[in-house]
Structure 1
Amino acid sequence: METSPEPHRPDPAGGCPHADNARLLARGAVTPVVLPGGVEGMAVLGHDALREFLQHPEVAKDARHFTELREGRIPAGWPLLTFATVRGMTTADGEDHRRLRGLVSRAFTPRRVEELRPRVEELTATLLDGLERAAVDGVADLRRHFALPLPMRVISELLGVDEEFHLRLHQLTSQVVATGIEPAQAVAANRELVAVLAAVAASRAERPGDDLTSALIAARDEDGDRLGQEELIGTLVLMIIAGHETTLNLITNAVRALCGHRDQLDLVRGSVASWADVVEETLRWDAPVSYFPFRYPVRDLDLGGTVIPAGTPVLAGYSAAGRDPAAHGPDAGRFDVTRPARPDAVRSLSLGHGAHYCLGAPLARLEATVALERLFDRFPDLDLAVPEEDLAREASFVGNSVHTLPVRLGTSPPV
């Protein structure tokens, strides 16, 4: 008699996901998981299964479909609770989702994003100067001084968030996405994050500007049916997190990949591949988000021969799907910036798929492409200052990156 596979327990302390992903993919595209607190769920890992799941008409984002939460069996300090309960685009379905997405989508069209290029280039140049000044004996933390402040400043300027809030917002959002955090810390971080963003919204209400928060407040005040106060704060929470954490990890992971694969860096320098190719291959090979919570089948769902019961919280396994040999070939575990796109033109699912495809994808790609090109132009000999295996990981199985990235800058080329 065939037995069910032992549920996978994602490590709340984080860690590199790829060895576990390979083991799990070998036994199937969908696997049971046990989340912190003993909450039973599922993870969709295979590329094709995940693509189907992300656009399935009978899969919801609204937490009212989360059986254990609806029945009161999820405690207030559960570290993944914010992902389920924050009010905004990522937890809305149908007309609610279209309404909320419509309020912010015009700020992220490819045309509007391209108009941001000069500002992204200006910030990049300023931060590279700062990175060089921060170096001690030629070594600096690239994540802290470059990969973090670039997307944080860009999304903050779009939202009208003053610089005084930047560091604290990053600290708080890092706690919100942490999966090993203590219940009391989780509650306190969420409460403070809401308070800080409420203060930002109040400031913009008093002094409206040409920013997205001011536009959202105007929509709230003109027609409360379009955006309530809780949805306003929830939207700001989601945009701050998604607007900088994903790109922070993407830039960090791309630099690590290129430093560990100098032959691939040479291909870009020799114009065999582009910096955009580096970004796309990094999204596939080392996705900035590993397991993203949550979606819920509204009925029992058969996915690739595995039944996911209705009301089950399901993780989207982006890092696993990116290295799925069934989709990307037997060399899926190899970093290759010349890798051809799949015939269906979906190179990776790391920024989502379907109605909830990442609204900020064009901005993330722009920021990462500009950052990488300017970084390696400025510091052509840049390399890791410690071995890859010694880099401490982020304390989360949601995000996928390292906590710090000490690099040796080398010598800048003469101007």
Structure 2
Amino acid sequence: MDPAGGCPHADNARLLARGAVTPVVLPGDVAGMAVLGHDALKEFLAHSDVAKGAGHFTALREGRIADGWPLKTFATVQGMTTADGDDHRRLRSLVSKAFTARRVAELRPRIETVTAELLDGLGRAATDGGGVADLRRHFAMPLPMGVICELLGVDAEYHERLHHLSNQVVATDIGPKEAMAANRELVEVLSTVAAARMKDPGDDLTSALIAAREEGGDRLSPQELIGTLLLMIIAGHETTLNLITNAVRALCAHRDQLALVRSAKASWSDVVEETLRWDSPVSYFPFRYPTRDLTLDGTVVPKGTPVLAGYSAAGRDKAAHGPDADRFDITRESATRHLSLGHGPHYCLGAPLARMEATIALEQLFTRFPELDLAVTEPELTRHASFVGNSVQELPVRPVP
């Protein structure tokens, strides 16, 4: 895997031509595997003999993974993404109260208000910038970051720093010192947030998690609390940020698809689902581990191997989405069959919120600025320095009313 990331789709197509499951070399010459095909990934994500807990990661358990390994946080953070069985059900049940259909629906007016305010700011930034503004910085990032931080009770003063540190955590091209420093600082910031909520509880999820007890009387441990906050900060804004960014890029490059929405022949929800399939906000997500030697689509995945879930590859798998899987088509019937928000017991809890945020963002953006277009060509955009996140670092646009 190229630690510098870049656009994954050409490599994905080359790998898929060789098979749905393939060996890969992770940073630091760590042997791993990736599941790329749609059907194989769907089976793998829900397989009863696949675990998330780091105790199943053979090389880590045997001490062969360095402390500064850039992907180590994904394996060792204590929270839902690394829990199995009863622990996973316990943690998920405590967090899921914040993402009920009723709670998400109640957020709609606030999201609509924040979206309108950010679009005002995008317009001002373009005026100050000679007609050009970075859509990621002024719109796509502060919207989901503001929403998840408001849910968690995180003050605005931390937003920019948390975004920077989140980027460091998902980066795959940084050195050991930088990786360890970013993780330490992220834990410190979130510990400060948790301490403030412990001292002065509010109507927020962090306060609720601190106070919550399961029926058996268990609370989140301090490590689980910080791990849960870390997960929700990163997953709660990075993925939606990439989703909005990728959708805007897709629509600017496919004006015929934008015209379909404007003529009511398709919906903004269709745009969101096809973007999730065609240009998944997460390319390869670490890690899952077979608890026994597992044969998947004719390939043996050895017990204890760290496996990447190849969401961006599965989204363009021609076996699942047809010979034109590389084409962005918001009327595609198979668009909703994507796996970009997961599958099985670890399916994304925040999926309804992410979908609502992206739908509101796109509708308001193109209503306010109907002629919005990119200010540079697609090849000029700088990609994420990561094979985990899938998007660009900046998105200069001309927000034309």
User: Shorter-chain TM-score: what band?
Assistant: over 0.9
1:170 is matched with 163
2:352 is matched with 362
Give yes or no for the alignment of 1:119 onto 2:110: yes
1:341 is matched with 334
Give yes or no for the alignment of 1:245 onto 2:238: yes
Give yes or no for the alignment of 1:85 onto 2:83: no
Instruction: Show the 5 A alignment for 1:63-78.
Output: 63-78=54-69
Residue 224 of structure 1 deviates from its aligned partner by: 7.3
TM-score (structure 2 length as normaliser)? 0.98
Residue 206 of structure 1 deviates from its aligned partner by: 1.0
2:287 is matched with 294
192, 200, 209: which one pairs with 2:193?
200
C-alpha distance in structure 2 between counterparts of 1:263 and 1:83, whole Å? 39
2:378 is matched with 388
Between the two proteins, the alignment pairs up a number of residues equal to 399
Contact 2:90/2:214, CA 8 A, preserved across alignment: no
C-alpha distance in structure 2 between counterparts of 1:308 and 1:38, whole Å? 18
2:249 is matched with 256
One-letter amino acid of the structure 2 residue matched with residue 178 of structure 1:
A
Rate the CA distance shift 1:223–1:197 in 2: closer, same or farther, 3 A. farther
C-alpha distance in structure 2 between counterparts of 1:127 and 1:39, whole Å? 42
Considering only aligned residues, what root-mean-square deviation do their CA atoms show, in Å? Answer: 1.2
1:324 is matched with 317
Q: What is the CA deviation profile of residues 239-297 of structure 1, one whole-angstrom value per residue up to 9, with x for unaligned ones?
A: 00000000000000000000000000000101110000000000000000000000000
C-alpha distance in structure 2 between counterparts of 1:347 and 1:74, whole Å? 36
C-alpha distance in structure 1 between counterparts of 2:286 and 2:82, whole Å? 10
One-letter amino acid of the structure 2 residue matched with residue 267 of structure 1:
L
1:4 is matched with none
Contact 2:94/2:214, CA 8 A, preserved across alignment: no
Contact 2:20/2:40, CA 8 A, preserved across alignment: yes
One-letter amino acid of the structure 2 residue matched with residue 348 of structure 1:
H
2:178 is matched with 185
Rate the CA distance shift 1:25–1:222 in 2: closer, same or farther, 3 A. closer
2:397 is matched with 407
Rate the CA distance shift 1:403–1:359 in 2: closer, same or farther, 3 A. same
One-letter amino acid of the structure 2 residue matched with residue 277 of structure 1:
D
For the residue of structure 2 that corresponds to 1:37, the secondary structure is coil
2:297 is matched with 304
Contact 2:284/2:309, CA 8 A, preserved across alignment: yes
Give yes or no for the alignment of 1:372 onto 2:365: no
Give yes or no for the alignment of 1:48 onto 2:39: yes
Consecutive unaligned residues in structure 1, runs of 5 or more: 1-9
TM-score (structure 1 length as normaliser)? 0.95
One-letter amino acid of the structure 2 residue matched with residue 256 of structure 1:
R
C-alpha distance in structure 2 between counterparts of 1:280 and 1:340, whole Å? 10
Residue 341 of structure 1 deviates from its aligned partner by: 3.2
C-alpha distance in structure 2 between counterparts of 1:217 and 1:113, whole Å? 21
C-alpha distance in structure 1 between counterparts of 2:98 and 2:228, whole Å? 14
C-alpha distance in structure 1 between counterparts of 2:356 and 2:28, whole Å? 39
Contact 2:321/2:334, CA 8 A, preserved across alignment: no
One-letter amino acid of the structure 2 residue matched with residue 36 of structure 1:
P
291, 311, 314: which one pairs with 2:307?
314
Residue 225 of structure 1 deviates from its aligned partner by: 2.9
Consecutive unaligned residues in structure 2, runs of 5 or more: none
For the residue of structure 2 that corresponds to 1:258, the secondary structure is helix
One-letter amino acid of the structure 1 residue matched with residue 194 of structure 2:
A
One-letter amino acid of the structure 1 residue matched with residue 370 of structure 2:
P
